[in-house]
Structure 1
């Protein structure tokens, strides 16, 4: 690729009548070529005479000299960041949604400030090249200090008790900017601004110096991206002007049918260039490879990674700090200016995502990932144990928790390591929690419990499912039991099913869960199915009843416990008197002397 932009006049010849002595095949014979030629195609604050100095040779050393000449000290970088931050806030404003009731600013601008704002709006419209602007809050941005002395920027309409969607930025307190310079810019204190900039000239920071910004001819910019101020010290978007160049590029390419025997291309440039050597705008290959390497090692953060999340990721921050250890608060842009373009970062992320997840990150991608793990990983390291879908589950609906009006297949994913199966096999007090929705289209619940030896809570498995009916949960518990049996050699045991007497503490003693009807009944249906496989065993609590005659609710009464934490927490925060709260608490019991009467009394209180 070329750093030089090519334009009119241009032309080409494809008849194959042109031959070049340089382009030959493996036998040394010249190959017919296609020829094409094109002509090599600054800001009003630039030194046009210096920018138009001719040259006829470009080298890596010349580019390094130019970059080194433009580099500044750390103190100057701090001031440049401060001005860029201030300019960005002025360009973008508050950014909050437009509120028709907050159109009138309470801050009265000066007369010259009002005229400058009108000019500024016109320059903004030119920069957007006719693109429609999103109407946002027009409130003034204010530099302030809080009661702890911390500096921050806020919109005049921001209110922590009501309009919290307006701008509130505490980044000035993080040491990223020069506070004195930032305060002077926001307060339009011209004397202080000139004093700071005059003292910083020796450091390499001089906003009044000639601009050295040059972009390619194909750039769509109509305004200089660097910050400029006019003679009155007000922010200005300086227009870009065009530098003419008459250098001619001629390109010789073998015809397509000859490119297998001659894969080279000859580029000849004639005439002097009357503009600076264009700086490379593409990310250098070694930096790009390092970015790819960081992305490949992000594991589970990669599937839904965005440029914004990537810029804040600890792995990237560690890399930037290692590359620029002497820089104060370095960013990825400091590594290379091309990385400031988020579209470039998005393309890098997309490239690595396609390599890591060739079938995407949806259902097909998950099935592919499971197949890869089953083939490449040892059994102890396999986490996704089941990822399958079932046709519509047929069930007799006798309650709201059984309703299944969806015609789509039921998808189920169970994630657990074989070691977790062994721990689950030994567990006696289990707990399940429903309500996680981290994956679009799936509900999630986890199955965990307390390890009595270590006295810590462990998560044994995570279940992702697209339906929460009783039949769906019955299938979930059946599959978990099958996986445990496959890993340990025997299925899960339950005290009321496998115990010999009431003092035999074999198997699971208690299952605690929230009040989700589908999960509770699904567990009862699973236990009823297990009990029907034991026709000769009798119930421990009702010795005259065979286990096979117990209903799903009979099984739940023997092992299932509802979590009441949320109930008591809501009662505690309820805006009623203590006597009513006590009546509410009395309802949480197995049997109540007057349940309906208490409910009516609570409703009338």
Structure 2
């Protein structure tokens, strides 16, 4: 998450102009706090050329779950990564069905600097031939031929093992107990994955989980089991009809 905030700060320049000259400031981490200390301090990304009472400088708010210490290291170019040796190359495999013509970007660490890496689509020189007989009725067969050598790695496994699937569903049930509005983003950015599987990334658990659609599928499945009528008005009416004796749990105030 801090890496994506960092990339967002550098991807688009500040649009503030003074006498026709655009702002050339660099993104910096700032803190906003109330003088009476009634509210907790919040962090945001501003720009170094900002001066008091100037308006229209770019401003990026930061969520509470973002590691501000790591973000500060990224902005100061002091981040050394998780190992002593810089990683200059990284690889992943994406499904063509969902990422056919999309240029996918991701945070990439090289020489102690986080950059926006670009996933390059690798082509294959294999040619396929289909031989269809002229009289398909008398010879109802079709021959498929492939010529050449595949130049790409085999696709990642698509099926999630049953043991991992069961643990993943337990994780989603636990996340649903903590908050009713559970999403795949909240699970990925939370701590449940590490507490259940001992790693911070789903792809490290099994290669099939590199496809985030698996997680979304199980979330939707469990949400439908827990809330068969949804979480809007119909869901409240449904839960009330099943717990009619506990009316106080559904009606907090009556206005006449």
Q: How does 1:52-451 map to 2 (within 5 A)?
A: 86-91=6-11, 103-104=16-17, 109=24, 140-143=26-29, 154-156=45-47, 166-169=59-62, 171-174=66-69, 176=70, 179=73, 182-184=75-77, 200-201=84-85, 205-207=86-88, 209=89, 212-218=91-97, 219-227=99-107, 235=115, 238=118, 240-246=120-126, 272-280=149-157, 284-297=161-174, 303-311=180-188, 317-324=191-198, 330=200, 332=202, 335=205, 345-370=215-240, 372=242, 384-385=244-245, 413-415=247-249
Quick one: structure 1 residues 177 and 369, their matched pair in 2 at CA, closer, same or farther if it must change by over 3 Å? same
Aligned to 2:251: 463
Offset at 1:360?
Answer: 2.7
Quick one: structure 1 residues 237 and 347, their matched pair in 2 at CA, closer, same or farther if it must change by over 3 Å? same
Q: Distance in 1 between matches of 2:222 and 2:242?
A: 18
Quick one: structure 1 residues 288 and 302, their matched pair in 2 at CA, closer, same or farther if it must change by over 3 Å? farther
Q: Is the 8 A contact 1:247 1:273 kept in 2?
A: no
Instruction: Kindly provide the CA deviation profile for residues 336-366 of structure 1, in whole angstroms up to 9, marking residues without a partner as x.
Output: 5776776654443222111222233345434
Gaps of 5+ in 1: 1-80, 95-101, 110-138, 147-151, 186-192, 251-267, 374-383, 387-412, 416-461, 470-605
Instruction: Kindly provide the CA deviation profile for residues 38-64 of structure 1, in whole angstroms up to 9, marking residues without a partner as x.
Output: xxxxxxxxxxxxxxxxxxxxxxxxxxx
Q: Distance in 1 between matches of 2:10 and 2:122?
A: 27
Structure whose CA Rg is larger:
1
Gaps of 5+ in 2: 33-42, 131-143
Quick one: structure 1 residues 142 and 340, their matched pair in 2 at CA, closer, same or farther if it must change by over 3 Å? farther
- Note the aligned Cα RMSD (angstroms): 5.2
Count of residues paired in the alignment: 220
Q: Distance in 1 between matches of 2:120 and 2:157?
A: 19
Q: Is the 8 A contact 1:153 1:168 kept in 2?
A: yes
Q: Distance in 2 between matches of 1:221 and 1:281?
A: 21
Offset at 1:283?
Answer: 5.0
Quick one: structure 1 residues 282 and 240, their matched pair in 2 at CA, closer, same or farther if it must change by over 3 Å? farther
Quick one: structure 1 residues 216 and 172, their matched pair in 2 at CA, closer, same or farther if it must change by over 3 Å? closer
Higher normalized helix content (fraction of residues): 1
Quick one: structure 1 residues 464 and 340, their matched pair in 2 at CA, closer, same or farther if it must change by over 3 Å? farther
Q: Distance in 1 between matches of 2:188 and 2:104?
A: 25
